[in-house]
Structure 1
Amino acid sequence: MNAAADVGTCEAVCPAAEVKLHSGSDIDSAGTEAGETDKTRANAFRFQREIVPQCACSAGASTGLSPIAIEDDMMLRTGDIIAADDGFRIAAISSGQKRSVLFRPLSKAEAQALGLSRLSSR
């Protein structure tokens, strides 16, 4: 994809949001052409800490989340844990000519060690 297509995709998913394209090898070091990095912004990674109702990406969404496949979420990083219908899974991402995402089940012991045993996967 090119920059214009990437901006168009972001605008389509969150039409009410200001769009700034950040690029880089990973989310922690991504920046704009002007040199601004995401982590220096006031609301950087806020989505990881809370759901902000007025920032919902679609008019019908009460959660503030955009309905995209987890495999297509470019914020997903190796080691991230997701809740699936059948339990927790840990992501492994490989990059190359085409990005691929694999998920392995997180054992009950691993989930308990991480404090996830008291959480439901639904």
Structure 2
Amino acid sequence: MTEAGEDDVMFEGVLEAAPEKVWRALTVPELVGAWLLPAREAAAGLELDGTEEGLSRIDCEVIEAEAPSLLRYRWQADGEAESVVTFELTRIAEGTWLRLTHEPALARVMAAANSNGPVMLAA
């Protein structure tokens, strides 16, 4: 399991389902839509559409996937900074131990065209 940073939001708990079933709930658009937000396949992962609920549209680009134990999305809501959401699934006697970690916005360094070094650090 990965270590959570001090600014990360983390949830851990037991789900009474096998990791394979939880994996499907995280990756199949129709199943994601049943528990999170309406979802559809996108070129690099999923697109969540919260507009009917007064929320943003969210692009979820898969950056790491090891079925059925690890899924990491680059998460970007309209008009907000990019962050990373990680789902770690571990088989246990009761079903699945789920650890969900949402890392804060990734810092971006923008450099001058002539490579004089960073001119802005945005979080």
Q: Name the structure where helix makes up a greater proportion of residues.
A: 1
Note whether the superposition's TM-score is higher than 0.5.
Answer: no
Larger relative contact order (CA 8 Å, sep ≥ 6): 2
Q: TM-score, normalised by structure 1?
A: 0.28
